């Protein structure tokens, strides 16, 4: 893999074309930006502007039609599915709107799950999971199952899980979308604290109040970056 950029994320003229019958949909029509390590960026834009397509590419869930994507300096734009899934496991942390916890697992087991897939020693991963539960304020809930937790607590578990592999960046997709506004603010405070401790965060949201917590905002329109706020 080529290595050039030292940003957490560096995308250059990224394009993604979907073939719909005889028509090409240019979901991303040439997007370039870089998120430095330690950055906290919100990706915004109206429905259909290309946010999900961009998120899928940044999350190594899809490959661009053309353009380059450097993840922590490694060009991942042409990797096959196996190598992409390897990148996700080793370098990324995902936070979803619907938390995506496994209902049959405890809090501790949910947090440790990425470490299980990474082949960690069970005692070591349990120790790390407890440490991360403490970091998100859930040290007294280790044996609980997701259904025994509030929505805000479930999202805290998901945030702890996203940190387990010490990822290059956290990718959050509408992280407060299923929460009331007070709980959403608490989750944003937690993300802000993590960012202040040095964690790089990229978050997709359509809510300006939520995006205001990020240090930078990138506005998409018609598959292009319309403008950025907070400097480039
Ligand atoms: P957003 O997340 O901002 O709503 P999307 O990335 O979902 O935007 O979509 C961008 C454009 O690409 C839209 O015009 C959408 O209809 C189109 N699109 C998204 N996914 C597909 C797909 N799998 N096949 C065809 N067109 C798609």
Q: Which of 169, 141, 171, 168 is nearest to 156 (CA)?
A: 141
Mean pLDDT value across residues 40-58: 96
Ligand 1, pocket residues at CB < 6 Å: 18, 20, 25, 27, 45, 47-53
Shortest CA distance to 176 belongs to which of 185, 168, 167?
185
- How many angstroms separate the CA atoms of 176 and 116, rounded? 27
Decide if 114 contacts 85 (C-beta within 8 A): no
Q: Is the pLDDT of residue 4 over 80?
A: no
Q: What is the pTM of this model?
A: 0.94
% of the chain at pLDDT higher than 90:
97
- Answer left, alpha or beta for residue 157, where phi above 0 means left and psi between -120 and 50 means alpha: alpha
Measured in Å, residue 196 CA sits from the centre of ligand 1 at 33
56 Cα to the center of ligand 1, angstroms: 11
For atom 11 of ligand 1, the residue with the nearest CA is 27
pLDDT given at position 6: 78
List strands edge to edge, sheet with 9-20.
23-35, 9-20, 66-71, 74-75
- SS3 category, 232: coil
59-68, pLDDT tens digit by residue? 999 999 999 9
In this predicted structure, the answer to whether residue 232 has a pLDDT above a threshold of 90 is no
Q: Which residue minimizes the CA distance to atom 26 of ligand 1?
A: 18
Region 39-56: mean pLDDT is: 96
Q: Round to whole Å and give the CA distance between 144 and 139.
A: 11
∠ CA 151-174-41, rounded to 5°: 125
Q: Which atom of ligand 1 is nearest to 53's Cα?
A: 6
Q: Is 62 exposed, middle or buried (0-12, 13-18, 19+ CB in 10 A)?
A: middle
pLDDT at site 146:
97
Reported confidence tier of residue 231, pLDDT bands at 50, 70, 90: low
Ligand 1 atom showing the smallest separation from residue 204 Cα: 2
Q: What is the pLDDT of residues 105-149, one digit of tens each?
A: 999 999 999 999 999 999 999 999 999 999 999 999 999 999 999
Average pLDDT over residues 32-56: 96
Q: Which helix (H) or strand (E) holds 104?
A: none
CB atoms under 10 Å from CB of 231, counted, come to: 6
């Amino acid at each position: 893999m080529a290595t050039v950029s030292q940003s957490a994320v560096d995308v250059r003229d990224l394009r993604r074309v979907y073939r719909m019958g005889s028509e090409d949909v240019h979901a991303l029509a040439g997007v370039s930006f870089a998120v430095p390590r330690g950055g906290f960026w919100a990706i915004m834009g109206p429905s259909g502007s290309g946010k999900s397509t961009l998120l899928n590419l940044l999350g190594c869930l899809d490959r661009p039609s053309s353009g380059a994507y450097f993840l922590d300096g490694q060009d991942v734009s042409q990797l096959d599915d196996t190598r992409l899934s390897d990148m996700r496991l080793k370098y990324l942390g995902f936070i979803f709107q619907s938390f995506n916890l496994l209902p049959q697992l405890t809090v501790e087991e949910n947090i440790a799950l990425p470490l299980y897939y990474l082949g960690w020693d069970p005692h070591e991963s349990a120790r790390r999971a407890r440490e991360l539960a403490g970091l998100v304020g859930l040290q007294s809930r280790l044996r609980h199952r997701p259904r025994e937790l509030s929505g805000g607590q479930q999202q805290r578990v998901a945030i702890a899980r996203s940190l387990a592999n010490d990822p290059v960046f956290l990718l959050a997709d509408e992280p407060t979308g299923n929460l009331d506004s007070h709980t959403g603010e608490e989750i944003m405070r937690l993300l802000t604290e993590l960012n202040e401790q040095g964690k790089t965060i990229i978050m997709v949201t359509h809510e300006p109040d939520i995006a205001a917590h990020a240090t930078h905002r990138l506005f998409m329109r018609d598959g292009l970056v319309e403008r950025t706020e907070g400097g480039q």
